[in-house]
């Protein structure tokens, strides 16, 4: 997103206070989220590139999964783990989670990533990315860190499916 807006060529998209924070702290999650908020105001076409404020019709591309990947769709302690069926689901999840999961479309098609949603009944809890047998991301709404109880459920699910998941307990 930051490359697409050419932030390196036009620093006006980021306010001076945030620029100083970036120089002092690096790109932390807090700074990332603040930048996304600013870009959403200044350049919604970049942040919301799947909608752009226009009622655009997108063709749904169905995802093809290997048999072993389809086995990941299970229930663990009343939580459902589900794969997106196609680009329509991925865009829906991006809107629900307020994150950039819809941009993983090509990675799913190329089978570089698997995206899984964890939900309880109708409530979406976590968005999970798996690469090469390892969970690389497991985050909640707005890319928030998950509560320990959800991380433990994901850990149990991952162990059942022989997926590596490590996280720091605080």
Tell me the mean pLDDT in the region 28-35: 72
pLDDT given at position 50: 46
Its pTM surpasses 0.75: no
CA distances from 63 to 70, 104, 118 (A): 11, 12, 18
Tell me the mean pLDDT in the region 71-94: 94
Q: List beta partners, residue 119.
A: 80, 124
pLDDT given at position 19: 77
| Residues 118/77, Cβ–Cβ less than 8 Å | no
CA distances from 104 to 55, 62, 101, 123, 128 (A): 22, 14, 6, 22, 12
| Helices within the chain (DSSP H only) | 16-25, 29-42, 44-47, 67-70, 87-97, 105-109, 148-160
Residue with the bigger pLDDT between 128 and 166: it is 128
Residue 75 neighbours by CB distance under 10 Å: 11
In this structure, is the dihedral angle defined by the CA atoms of residues 87, 92, 96 and 98, taken in order, positive or negative?
Answer: positive
Residue with the bigger pLDDT between 66 and 43: it is 66
Percent of all residues in the chain with a pLDDT value above 90, rounded to a whole number: 46
- 166 DSSP 8-state letter: -
């Amino acid at each position: 997103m930051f490359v697409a807006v050419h932030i390196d060529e036009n620093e006006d998209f980021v306010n001076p206070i945030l620029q100083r924070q970036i120089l002092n702290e690096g790109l932390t999650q807090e700074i990332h989220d603040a930048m996304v908020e600013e870009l959403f105001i200044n350049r919604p076409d970049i942040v919301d590139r799947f909608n752009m404020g226009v009622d655009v019709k997108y063709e749904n591309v169905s995802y093809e999964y290997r048999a072993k990947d389809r086995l990941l769709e299970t229930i663990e302690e009343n939580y459902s783990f589900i794969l997106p069926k196609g680009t329509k689901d991925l865009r829906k999840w991006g809107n629900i989670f307020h994150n950039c999961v819809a941009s993983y479309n090509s990675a799913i098609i190329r089978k570089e990533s698997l995206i899984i949603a964890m939900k309880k009944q109708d409530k979406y809890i976590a968005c999970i990315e798996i690469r090469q047998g390892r969970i690389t991301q497991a985050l909640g709404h707005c890319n928030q860190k998950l509560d320990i109880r959800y991380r433990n459920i994901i850990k149990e699910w991952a162990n059942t499916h022989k997926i590596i998941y490590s996280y720091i307990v605080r």
